[in-house]
Amino acid sequence: MLVSPELMMHVGPPPQEVLDQRWLWKLLMAGFMLVFILQVIALDVAGALLTGLLLGFGWVMLRDGMTEMAKYALIYAVLCGLNFFFEVLPLISELSGRVTRRAELATPSVEVNGTRVPRPEVCTIGRLRTTECV
């Protein structure tokens, strides 16, 4: 390439409208910090890694009066899209609700002349075995 990509980017402070929104960026970084800590506690390694990347790029963009905002904006947008994709997938799968299953024990049966019939319950009373239980 004849021209470096860094020469094509705007170097210097961003417009005043962007600088006025710095408090929102700091609020976003505080939220990402909270999410990152909770993901580390929950042992969500992949989520913590992605949130950590968003947090790191966010702080790099905010330092030095937001002069490097233009350089990292596209990377940050792609990371935000990945984060959205990976967070929405579990949400969609959980929207149908909880799945419950119920298992019941089958009644014991025996085969008599090719037909399955319930096996009679055998009770022991002393030394006497009977099919009628009290």
Over residues 14-37, the pLDDT tens digits come to 888 888 899 999 999 999 999 999
Asked if 46 and 36 touch (Cβ cutoff 8 Å), the reply is no
Counting residues of the chain whose pLDDT is more than 70, the rounded percentage is 72
Q: How many residues in total does the chain contain?
A: 134
Tally the C-alpha atoms within 13 A of residue 8's C-alpha that lie toward its C-beta: 5
Q: In which band, very low, low, confident or very high, does the pLDDT at 71 lie, cut at 50, 70 and 90? A: confident
C-alpha to C-alpha distance for 83 and 91, rounded to whole angstroms: 13
Query: Domain total for the chain?
Result: 1
Residue 57 structural domain: 9-94
Please report whether residue 3 resides in a domain: no
What pLDDT does 113 receive? 76
Please report whether residue 131 resides in a domain: no
Please report whether residue 79 resides in a domain: yes
What pLDDT does 41 receive? 97
- For the ranges 43-52, 103-112, 118-127, the maximum mean pLDDT occurs at 43-52
Which three-class secondary structure state does DSSP give residue 64? helix
What pLDDT does 100 receive? 78
Nearest Cα residue to 52 out of 78, 29, 81:
29
What pLDDT does 42 receive? 95
Give, in order, the Cα–Cα distances in Å from 54 to each of 7, 20, 30, 78, 82.
25, 21, 12, 10, 10
Please report whether residue 123 resides in a domain: no
Chain mean position to CA 37: 14
Please report whether residue 59 resides in a domain: yes
Run of H or E residues at 128: strand 128-130
How many other C-beta atoms lie within 10 A of the C-beta of residue 67? 14
Counting residues of the chain whose pLDDT is more than 90, the rounded percentage is 32
Query: Does 134 have pLDDT greater than 60?
Result: no
